[in-house]
Amino acid sequence: MSRLNGLCQRLTIYIGESDSADHKPLATEIVHRAHASGMAGVTVLRGVIGYGASNHIHTTRILSLSADLPIIIEIVDEHERIQSFLTEIEHLIEKGLVTLEDVHVIGHIGNSSPALS
């Protein structure tokens, strides 16, 4: 069983839905690399409205439907594993925002045989 407990870090990556790496969606590439690296877990959230450094508002409103909605990728794991993973992917992120926070994990229990389809 995989267990995560105590002081850890949360890596949060804010990108656009149209961002890519190696001709694949950037969010998908990051998730696959996190999985291959054995990270404890990853969540990708799709925003309904937002803007960043470009100051351009991206929204799901029908009249101004955007093909570049905000994407948030969150990864929580031990400090050393997050630092190592960040080094592995930092060259992939050409624009966006990356934050790192200390978090206290109350409990995380998963099985040891990850499935990805």
- pLDDT-derived band at 1 (thresholds 50, 70, 90) equals very low
With 80 as the cut, is the pLDDT of residue 57 above it? Answer: no
On whether residue 29 sits in a domain, the answer given is: yes
In a domain, 116, yes or no: no
Cβ contact 47:69 at 8 Å = yes
- Inside any domain, residue 77: yes
Neighbours of 20 (CB within 10 A): 16
- Max avg pLDDT among 2-6, 51-55, 75-79: 75-79
Report yes or no on 113 lying in a domain.
Answer: no
Evaluate whether residue 23 is within a structural domain: yes
Structural domain for 83, as ranges:
2-107
Looking at residue 69, what is its pLDDT?
A: 86
Element containing residue 18 per DSSP (H, E): none
Is 115 a domain residue? no
- In the structure, what pLDDT confidence band is assigned to residue 117 with cuts at 50, 70 and 90? very low
In a domain, residue 66? The reply is: yes
* 70-116 tens-digit pLDDT: 999 999 999 999 999 999 999 999 999 999 999 999 876 666 555 54
> How many domains are there within the chain?
1
Give a yes or no: residue 59 inside a domain.
Answer: yes
Q: What is the mean pLDDT of the chain?
A: 85
Q: 74 and 45 in contact (C-beta within 8 Å)?
A: yes
pLDDT value at 2 more than 60: no
The pLDDT score that the predictor gives to residue 49 is 81
98 HSE (CA, 13 A, CB side): 16
- The structure's pTM equals 0.82
Q: What is the CATH number of the domain that holds 9?
A: 3.30.70.120
